[in-house]
Structure 1
Amino acid sequence: MKLPQTRDARSGDLRLAYQVVGQGPINLVFVPGFLSNLDVHWEDPGYAHLLRRLSGFTRLIQFEKRGTGLSDRVDPAHLPDLETRMDDVRAVMDAAGSGRAALLGASEGAPMSLLFAATHPERVRALVLYGGYACFHRWVQDAEAVEQFVAQADTSWGQGRTLRAFAPGRAGDPEFRGWWARFERLSCSPNAGIALARMNSAIDLRAILPGIRVPTLILHRRHDARASPEAASYLARHIPGAELRWLEGRDHPIWTGDTDAAVDAIEEFLTRATPSTQPERSLAALLALRITGASRRALLDGELAERAGTFDARLSDEARCFGGSVVASGPEGRLLRLDGPSRALGCARNLSALARSLGIGLGQGVHVGEVLPGEGAASGVTARIALALAGEATPGVVLVSMVAAEVAFGTGQHFVSWGEIRIDGACLSVERLVPEQHLEPARGIRGHNPDLTHLTLREREVLGLVAEGLSNHEIAERLELSAHTVKRHVTNILLKLDLPSRAAAAALLARSEAS
């Protein structure tokens, strides 16, 4: 069988592999799940049948995430967050000449598709979610199950032993099991597979579901072995106008079991789905800035007024560096719009440094929510929350809504619990972005071991409590942090130390203290 031509799309400095098959009137972007390799897809009769069926009524664009398959590899310790991978979808669409497309997000590809549809509704004709979920730990695997999966992958990646977790109905098929083992090996390295599993476990996009404004079809097998059927019911309840169809079977991959039933539903949906006529709101991160405290009074001084002018003159350039723009500047503060919270937080760090260099006190707030296009982002509840956070922030502090912190989870950012604020009659949980150099000294860790040097002081402190056998909630109470923050620290510790479990991290610390 002659394989389709594989092309490269540039996303930043990396190349992403993609293929285009079919000449149908609808562009359909297939956003893959955990594993992918464009050439290996065609080797399995079931996968090849899926691709041929989809390309029979669409112009099918399938691609591989960075770090997997035929795309450029990345350091497993620094895998990209969902926002970066969302940009990869846009880069592939641009390279394939697709202005608007339907998205088919399968398994892990479903949350990535959700984030893209919320952020760029103008690029999305319709959304199909197969075997998807909004929160990994709730509907796929809890933390203990993730560590068990990681431990298995650590010793047997590339042997096909993960097959039973995805497609138990095919586990007794030696030919398929051999293909699955090859699929593992050629999709990513063992360390990358472990890092991907841990990163995927951080996915929680429940907060953005009400902001989806494109026609949406949810497909889920009634007895899915990987993603709980309740995940589909939750998506259907919280995405406005979403349609839910149940499929029979328990195997998780869309290309196993009754694939034709899934494709028939997709074809029927896409050929009748029409673009929404509602105003094109989209998901965005807003970064609000306010000159605070003594610095505001000091602006009466001509020199400091000039410094503030210099700050404003550089504001647009700083925003553009992170793919954003200034949408408002006035007495209430400055407001920047960016595609996601990790970019807003990166921009906030740069602006803090700029303000310090100019002698200006700057409080900042970050919130994620639904906004109107262009300068319309400056109005509405999302803008009010961001400005309120900036108003509460003291000089040099960046306050982040819990929603923004959760969406940014897994990006290497560090937060501590700050408290709550009341806006429009509702109470909003707030966290504070913590520069690593401001972390408190570690308590209870004796000595110094080279293996631990790339942990932050806070991470070493958390590691010490993990070694004492404390749970995340117990650590959160001990250190007066949120449970979400502790979970982030533990994830980062395991990634940085390249360890499969909390027990392995505790053992490493014990060896460090004994040496």
Structure 2
Amino acid sequence: MSSPRRVTLSPTSSAASSAGFGAGSFVVGSLGGGSSFSIRSTLSARACLDCFSPSVSAMGAPPAPRQHQSEPATRQSVQSPPIATTAVFSALVERAQTQYAKSGDRYIGYRVLGDGPIDLLALNNGSNIWIDRDDEPHWAHFDRRLSSFTRLIRFDPSGVGLSDPLGAGELPTVELWTQDALAVLNAVESEHAALLGVSDGGPVAMLLSAMYPERISALVLMNSSARIARDDDYPCGIPQHLLDRFVNTVSDPTGGEDRVDDLALLAPSLAGDPEFQLWWKTAGERSAGPTTAKALDTLATAFDVRGILPLIRVPTLVMYRLDHPFLRPGHAHYLAEHVAGAKLVELPGRDHLAYVGETEPLLDEIEEFLTGTRGGSDTERVLATILFTDIVDSTKRASTAGDRLWREQLDNHDRMAARQLQRFGGRQVKSTGDGLLATFDGPARAIQCGLAMCDGARQLGMDVRVGIHTGEVERRGTDIAGIGVHIASRVQACAEPGEVWVSRTLTDLLAGSAVTFADRGDHTLKGVPGTWQLFKVEG
């Protein structure tokens, strides 16, 4: 693990060192700084801070490239920037027509502001493109500064704002929002992307960086973390019972004795501002209903992407505010220590929301990081979800059936497996004789495909074992190699007949989804160091 390069900024200073990127086509994603974090109402600031403070103190293929100018933008930092009003920002807003990208069977709404030489994608789990955002002067100023040197792209993920809703019983996942982001990148013809993940947008940005290194030019993380909950090997996290209380109280529209003031927690510098309080409440109520808000908050507190940090090889900047009310510095230090070559920057301020408080040091860092000389990335090693299958007792079945009948049974199996791969978007790498190796862009589709293959095999009078793992693979022509492939193969060997087993990595990536798992204990995988916790997919 490499040591972080650390820069400390005073309230009026900016970092002097360049991150070293060229002014090509970049995209920044900022998920998690939005106003629909929960349902808004007049709440108790003291109760909110009491909820966290005691424990905290105690513990696809790219499209054709779009042509850009090569000259980087320059800005002069000022101590007290004027706040943009709606009237000032309206010229940009008038040109920003809502458009839609197709992500699976959903339409994802997005808008584009400005025409700078750098693409800047702003992801958000809240009201991201509708007019309430432009009515808020602090956010309008933040966007105006970004759009002064970029082509600013904003969108609502599935289930939020102007995008299509989730289906009945469907929950948002990091994987789903990653696919939404890709759909928007393709729709705006952005060839490369630099991603900014703010708060719970960080996991989406990190997963996208690991899965699609050929599409990602840089990664910026602000007030983010690999996970939010405390664990035995993650002491800087927040105890789970406090997170559960937070989710239940802020998403309860009926009110209750333990209501908390999320505004005092997320934007303490504006908690006493009546105009911001009104906007915050109104915007949150419009962007998501109670059930959706609770699902979003559950996702924001349940993710764990620690396993993919070593797979991120794009230039990375990690930033956090020194006086943050609940996100301890250990979160940022953990990211910087586990992402190769990451640069760590401490910023002044105490607000969780990126667009309020002392924003100029943050904006200066973003601009400097994105407009230096271009760096390279390794496009031969990528993150993939790997699926192995194996027909149970294939040797015995072949001996009993005879060559001709066994060949017919294998052909029926192969046709069934091919249909399921096509149905769920998998790519067959090769046949293993009595099974197959395939890859998927995400774990949910791989699990669905594995379950369908087990069902299809039973209809053919046989059983298969399925093992799935998400990890780094090395592309070798049409084949793949690497430790991730070996792990998936060993997981499959442990599975019981007719069952789909997965590694712990998948359960962490699908935290908050509708998929359920049964713990099958720790296992020693042949040729793989350590012990591995495996799970059976139950549905």
TM-score range, shorter chain: 0.7 to 0.9
Counterpart of 1:227 in structure 2 is: 327
Quote how far apart the aligned CAs of 1:321 are. Answer: 2.1
Report the Cα distance in structure 2 between the residues aligned to 1:348 and 1:279, rounded to whole angstroms.
Answer: 28
Tell me whether 1:169 sits opposite 2:269 in the alignment.
yes
Residue aligning to 1:296: 395
1:29 aligns with 2:127: no
Q: Which residue of 2 aligns with 1:245?
A: 345
- CA positional deviation for 1:34: 5.1
Amino acid at match of 1:298: R
Q: State the Cα distance separating 1:37 from its structure 2 match.
A: 4.8
Q: For residues 210 and 34 of structure 1, do their structure 2 counterparts lie closer, same or farther at Cα, with a shift above 3 Å needed?
A: farther
1:60, CA displacement in angstroms?
1.4
2:314 counterpart letter in structure 1:
V
Q: What's the CA shift string for 1:352-402, capped at 9, x where partnerless? A: 011111122211111110112375663111111111121222321222111
Q: Give the residue type in structure 2 aligned to 1:196.
A: L
Say whether 1:386 aligns with 2:484. Answer: no
Give the AA of the match of 2:481: S
Cα gap change, 1:13/1:135 in structure 2, threshold over 3 Å: closer, same or farther? Answer: same
The corresponding residue for 2:463 is 361
What does the per-residue CA deviation read over 1:465-513, in whole Å, with 9 as the maximum and x for residues that have no partner? xxxxxxxxxxxxxxxxxxxxxxxxxxxxxxxxxxxxxxxxxxxxxxxxx
Amino acid in structure 2 at the alignment position of 1:249: G
One-letter amino acid of the structure 1 residue matched with residue 249 of structure 2 = A
Residue in structure 2 matched with residue 403 of structure 1 by the alignment: 505
What's the CA shift for 1:289?
Answer: 0.9
Does structure 2 conserve the Cα–Cα contact (< 8 Å) formed by 1:364 and 1:399?
Answer: yes
Residue type at the aligned position of 1:388: R
TM-score, normalised relative to structure 2: 0.76
Preserved contact between residue 413 and residue 433 of structure 1 (Cα < 8 Å):
no
User: Matches of residues 100-499 of structure 1 in structure 2 within 5 Å?
Assistant: 100-138=192-230, 141-149=238-246, 150-155=248-253, 161-272=261-372, 274-293=374-393, 295-300=394-399, 301=402, 302-331=404-433, 333-373=435-475, 378-419=480-521, 420-424=523-527, 426-435=529-538
- TM-superposed CA distance for 1:308, in Å, is 1.2
What is the TM-score of this pair, normalised by structure 1?
0.79
Contact 1:366–1:399 (8 Å) recurs in 2? yes
Greater mean deviation of Cα atoms: 137-146 or 164-173: 137-146
2:313–2:377 CA contact under 8 A, matched in 1 = no
Deviation by residue 1:95-145 (Cα, 9 ceiling, x = unmatched): 112122211221111111111111111111111111111102136643222
Letter in 2 for 1:205: V
Amino acid in the other structure paired with 2:240: A
1:25–1:37 distance in 2 versus 1, CA, 3 Å: closer
1:332 deviates by: 8.2
Higher helix residue share: 1
- Asked if the contact 2:171/2:512 (under 8 Å) is kept, the reply is no
Q: How far is the alpha carbon of 1:225 from its aligned partner? A: 2.4
The Cα offsets for residues 261-285 of structure 1, whole Å up to 9 and x where unpaired, read as 1111011111125242434312111
Range 421-430 or range 358-367, more displaced: 421-430
The letter of the residue matching 1:213 is: R
Structure 2: how far apart are the matches of 1:413 and 1:361?
Answer: 22
Aligned to 1:74: 166
Structure 1 spans left out of the alignment, 5+ residues: 437-515
Q: 1:194 to 1:37 in 2, by over 3 A?
A: farther
Query: Partner of 1:462 in structure 2?
Result: none
Q: In 2, distance between residues paired with 1:164 and 1:113?
A: 26
**Aligned partner of residue 163 in structure 2, secondary structure:** coil
Q: Gapped runs of 5+ residues in structure 2?
A: 1-86, 231-235
Task: Report percent identity of matched pairs.
Answer: 36
Which range moves more in the overlay, 251-260 or 15-24?
15-24
Distance in 2 between residues matched to 1:373 and 1:314, nearest whole Å: 26
Contact 1:68/1:188 (8 A) holds in 2: yes
Q: Match for 1:315: what amino acid?
A: A
Which SS does the other structure have where 1:42 is aligned? helix
Distance in 2 separating the partners of 1:250 and 1:76: 38
Task: State the AA in 2 paired with 1:297.
Answer: K
Q: What code does the residue aligned with 1:145 have? A: L
Cα deviation, 1:171-215, whole Å, max 9, x if unaligned, reads 111111111111211221122111211122210000000001111
Give the paired residue count.
434
**Residue identity opposite 2:505 in structure 1:** V
Structure 2 Cα separation of the partners of residues 43 and 411 of structure 1: 33
1:98 matched to 2:200:
no
Distance 1:401 1:375, change over 3 A: farther
Matched, 1:16 2:119: no
Distance in 2, Cα, partners of 1:14 & 1:279? 29
Cα RMSD (Å): 2.2
Question: Is the contact between residue 213 and residue 281 of structure 1 (CA under 8 Å) also seen in structure 2?
Answer: no
Moved over 4 A (4+): 374-377
Look up the SS of the partner of 1:154 in the other structure. coil
